[in-house]
Amino acid sequence: MEEIKRISRDLVANGAIIDYYKDTMLLPDGKTVKWDLIDHKGAAAVVAVREDGKLIMVRQYRNALERETIEIPAGGLNGRQEPTEDAARRELMEETGYIADKMELLNSIYTTVAFCNEKIDIYLARGLKKQGSQHLDEDEYVNVEAYDLDDLVQMIYEGKIQDSKTICGIMTYAHKYAR
């Protein structure tokens, strides 16, 4: 494949979670085009499995979809240098009140490769202990729920769970550990 080169990157807007850029790109045929780029600092997510085998999920309203979703606990990094395992542990505690004895990297995903560089590292958390109550951000309203793996997989197949990190985390866990 012939090389594509970036000529320039111009900041269009800074957001609370993302920055939006317009890139001017030089194509192999000599044409220049404008491409959008959403720059994201990264995130971490957790497939949290209790001793009874149930997975800890969070239900929350998502503005982009204008509805509630059921997801694995997750959140953005506190800066690009924060280790994703630290972020995963923090988000698990903040959103659910649980801490984990063991964390293992399950998978890493890029959410929307056509225009966004968001990478999410998805961890498996075991040896869960309820440490206390949630410590949510001031704009977060999260309900904690527990589900059987088979029920979650069925919800994915039925289109009731559509969040990519959640689908990836649950299906990776189901394939690797729950056969």
pLDDT given at position 134: 55
Question: Which pTM value belongs to this model?
Answer: 0.90
pLDDT digits (tens, 9 = 90+) for 45-102: 999 999 999 999 999 988 888 999 999 999 999 988 999 999 999 999 999 999 999 9
Phi, psi of 49 (to 5 degrees): -115, 120
Residues forming the active site: 138
pLDDT given at position 133: 67
Structural domain spans, the chain? 5-39, 41-177
- For residues 21-42, average pLDDT: 96
Q: Is the pLDDT of residue 158 over 70?
A: yes
Q: What is the spatial distance between Cα 84 and Cα 171, in angstroms, rounded to a whole number?
A: 20
Class assignment of domain 41-177? alpha beta
